Amino acid sequence: MSKTTELAAKLRGLDIQNMYENDFFLTWDKTDDEIAAVFAVADALRDLRERNISTKIFDSGLGISNFRDNSTRTRFSFASACNLLGLEVQDLDEGKSQIAHGETVRETANMISFMADVIGIRDDMYIGKGHTYQQEVVDALKEGYADGVLEQKPTLVNLQCDIDHPTQTLADLDHVIHYFGGVENLKGKKVAMTWAYSPSYGKPLSVPQGVIGLFTRFGMDVVLAHPEGYDVMPEVEEVAKANAAKNGGSFTKTNDMKEAFRDADIVYPKSWASFAAMEKRTDLYGKGDFEGIDKLEKELLAENATHKDWECTEEMMSLTKDGRALYLHCLPADITDVSCKEGEVAASVFDRYRAPLYKQASYKPYIIAAMIFLAKVKDPAKAIEELEEKGKERKAY
């Protein structure tokens, strides 16, 4: 029995009907079965492609990407995922659209969706805005479909918002599952989600929030570490606490990076701005106070600079379980003496983990493809089996 056949059989035992014709906003909106289905489909698609079997389920159609913040990995992962399933990709460049002329969200959403099957949106810069914008787009799509304007409602995939980065954290966790030899081996593993120094300003909160909101579902002992004042959204901390209580792990907080690293199985040192600072920036942006934003940036850079000791060094790594914890990063990392003078991680640490980091990133196209697959295929187990049975070569060698 092939790996793909085993994964299809696993899918049949999961309650995932609600994923069909639905959207993917936040991981904690999804049930345990639905999260398991994303991993199963992602791994099946990867297995098929590695065996040179075509995974195209669409004969035509569009995947629309709208990146309201810069991106390399997620942008290309979305394009790869759409192509893997047989969709063409069109990027919405808001600067070249009629949005600048006052086109409404409702109008834009409908105008870009006539032959679209999926829309991926990244909107992570402003607290209280990104997730709300994505929901507004979905509401417009539902209305357009109900009114007969659209012949189908495209699925929305959250490619990062102000609250969560589900494609990133699910890819991270898929990497962790494979690294430790199965999801059953995650229980009791210590995860250090820690702040790290960066010479840049205003990095989103959605990665650390996504990690604590997802990893706590698997019985792991998750530690959130940051200097005083660099808090994340309190409502996401509540999600992490509830997950830990339900699944037998733990969720704790500390202002000591060494304490977080000590005996950790997994470390994820990553810079982010404080929730309070991001709220203030959003307020200033809403008022059009760009002078105030510039002043806030200078203040926060100065505050960051008082915590340069929050770096993932060889000394820090030596505190981890057997000195060999799995190092994770969403990339690009601020590498000391490489990409910046002082940063999140020492060059020697990053170099040692370079291949695993790139492997970590390689799961994202398949995770995104799985999200689309589960939203667009009524019987995903049957569809996966049929792809394997058909055995159409992706390319001739």
332 cis-preceded (ω within 30 degrees of 0): yes
Percent of the chain scoring above 90 in pLDDT: 87
Q: In what order do the strands lie in the sheet with 221-225?
A: 250-254, 221-225, 190-194, 266-269, 326-327
- DSSP designation for 224: E
Asked whether the domain spanning 166-361 has the same topology as the one spanning 3-164+364-390, the reply is yes
263: phi > 0 → left, psi -120 to 50 → alpha, else beta; which?
left
| Number of Cβ within a 10 Å radius of residue 8 | 23
CATH homologous superfamily for the domain 166-361? Aspartate/ornithine carbamoyltransferase (3.40.50.1370)
240: phi > 0 → left, psi -120 to 50 → alpha, else beta; which?
alpha
- Write the pLDDT tens digit of every residue in 219-249: 999 999 999 999 999 999 999 999 999 999 9
- DSSP designation for 114: T
Residue 198 dihedral angles phi and psi, to the nearest 5°: -140, 140
Task: Say if residue 102's pLDDT is above 90.
Answer: no
Tokens of 263: 């005996």
DSSP labels for 58-102?
A: -SS-EEEEEESS--SHHHHHHHHHHHHHT-EEEE--GGGSGGGGT
Q: Which residue has the higher pLDDT, 102 or 118?
A: 118
Cα–Cα distance measured from residue 384 to residue 377, given in angstroms and rounded to the nearest whole number: 10
Q: For residues 333 and 359, is the Cβ–Cβ distance under 8 A?
A: no
Task: Say if residue 99's pLDDT is above 80.
Answer: no
- Write the pLDDT tens digit of every residue in 274-294: 888 888 888 998 899 989 989
Right CATH for 3-164+364-390 from 1.10.40.50, 3.40.50.1370, 3.30.70.1340, 3.40.640.10: 3.40.50.1370
- Write the pLDDT tens digit of every residue in 170-209: 999 999 999 999 999 999 999 999 999 999 877 899 999 9
Task: Say if residue 98's pLDDT is above 70.
Answer: no
Question: What does the domain layout of the chain look like in residue ranges?
Answer: 3-164+364-390, 166-361
Q: For residues 128 and 47, is the Cβ–Cβ distance under 8 A?
A: no
Burial grade of 76 (CB within 10 A; 0-12, 13-18, 19 or more)? middle
Q: SS in 3 state form for 141-162?
A: HHHHHHCCCCCCCCEEEEEEEC
Closest CA to 218 of 179, 181, 187, 253: 187
DSSP labels for 256-321?
A: -HHHHHTT-SEEEE-----HHHHHHHHHHHHHT-HHHHHHHHHHHHHHHGGGTT--B-HHHHHTSG
Percent of the chain scoring above 70 in pLDDT: 98
Cα–Cα distance measured from residue 37 to residue 42, given in angstroms and rounded to the nearest whole number: 8
Angle at 216 between CA 14 and CA 202, to 5 degrees: 120
Burial grade of 341 (CB within 10 A; 0-12, 13-18, 19 or more)? exposed
pLDDT the model gives residue 101: 59
- Listed in sequence order, the DSSP H helices in 180-262 are 206-215, 234-247, 257-261
pTM of the prediction? Answer: 0.96
Q: How crowded is the C-beta side of 107, counted as CA atoms within 13 Å? A: 8
Q: How crowded is the C-beta side of 15, counted as CA atoms within 13 Å? A: 3
Tokens of 50: 């590695």
Residues 6+ apart with CB under 8 A from 356: 175, 179, 326, 327
Cα–Cα distance measured from residue 142 to residue 217, given in angstroms and rounded to the nearest whole number: 31
Angle at 361 between CA 355 and CA 362, to 5 degrees: 90
Q: How crowded is the C-beta side of 37, counted as CA atoms within 13 Å? A: 27
pLDDT the model gives residue 201: 77
